[in-house]
Homo-oligomer: A and B are copies of this chain.
Amino acid sequence: MPSHFQPVALEHASRLINHGPTVLITSIGADGQRNVMAAAWSMPVEFTPPRIAIVIDKKTFTRELVIASGVFGICIPGAGLVDLTHAVGSESGSEVGDKFERHRIDARPGPVLGVPVIEAGCSAWLECRLISEPHAQDTYDTCFCEVVAAAADARIFSNGRWHVGPDNAALHTIHHLGGGNFARGGDVVKAR
């Protein structure tokens, strides 16, 4: 299947999560481990340089990998991946092993940091370098990072803008309401 992914200019990276989608965090270990978990709690904090804050609970395997490696990926699942998103958010990689194999997730190393990036079924991905902020990490599980590369499926995001419509429904972002229910961002309203 041909990829529709195109690079996103770094000054537009914040737009990818500006509207609060639930995301997938991907991570890697020194001895070839990799992991993926769902995360509902993230936000941009700066346009340029593009910086993000994301909550990664200190009890998760992802947190352990991210602190050790200093890098992680953020992938934005489309509505077609709602079951997968809920599944990888409900199990720990330290217990079930490689979730990419377990769920047959097609990922490849990102171009700058080598973290796993997922394109099939996702609208976008970002490669992120952790900014060491021990106090925020310890007290609020909040990890600040800088985006160093980003790409998006041009069928739904191009030229720094989302293009949401009935023709790309499987890529609409999902927003976790709780209990496995997600609001789908498929209906766009424009302010005057």
> In the docked arrangement, what's the CA distance between A178 and B175, Å?
17
Q: State whether A187 and B186 are in contact (beta carbons under 8 Å apart), knowing that A45-B140, A141-B45, A178-B18 are contacts in the complex.
A: yes
**Residues A189 and B53 in contact, CB atoms below 8 Å apart:** no
Q: Which residues of the other chain, B, contact A192 by a CB distance below 8 angstroms?
A: 83, 86, 180
Chain B residues closer than 8 Å to A183, beta-carbon distance? 19, 162, 164, 173, 185-188
Question: Are A180's CB and B184's CB within 8 A?
Answer: no
CA distance A51 to B41 in the complex (A): 12
* Contact residues in B for A188 (Cβ distance below 8 Å): 177, 181-184
A41-B43, A140-B53 are contacts. A184–B177 as well, Cβ < 8 Å?
no
Is B178 a contact partner of A162 (Cβ separation < 8 A)? yes
Copies in the complex: 2
A15 at the A/B interface (Cβ < 8 Å)? Answer: yes
* Chain A count of residues within 8 A CB distance of the other chain: 53
A144 within 8 A of B: yes
Question: Which B residues are CB-close (under 8 A) to A133?
Answer: 135-136
With both beta carbons as reference points, the residue of chain B lying nearest to A90 in the complex is identified as: B191
In the complex, what distance in Å separates the CA atom of A162 from the CA atom of B181? 9
Q: A41 touches which one: B44, B135, B177, B180 (CB < 8 A)?
A: B44
Contacts A86-B192, A140-B144, A175-B175 given; 13 further ones with Cβ under 8 A? Answer: A18-B177, A19-B22, A19-B183, A20-B20, A41-B44, A45-B55, A45-B140, A53-B140, A86-B191, A87-B191, A162-B177, A162-B178, A181-B190
* Between-chain CB contacts (< 8 Å), 10 pairs: A15-B178, A19-B182, A41-B44, A43-B43, A45-B142, A53-B140, A79-B189, A82-B190, A164-B183, A183-B185
Q: 10 closest Cβ contacts across the A-B interface? A: A20-B20, A183-B185, A86-B191, A19-B175, A180-B191, A41-B43, A45-B140, A184-B187, A162-B177, A43-B43
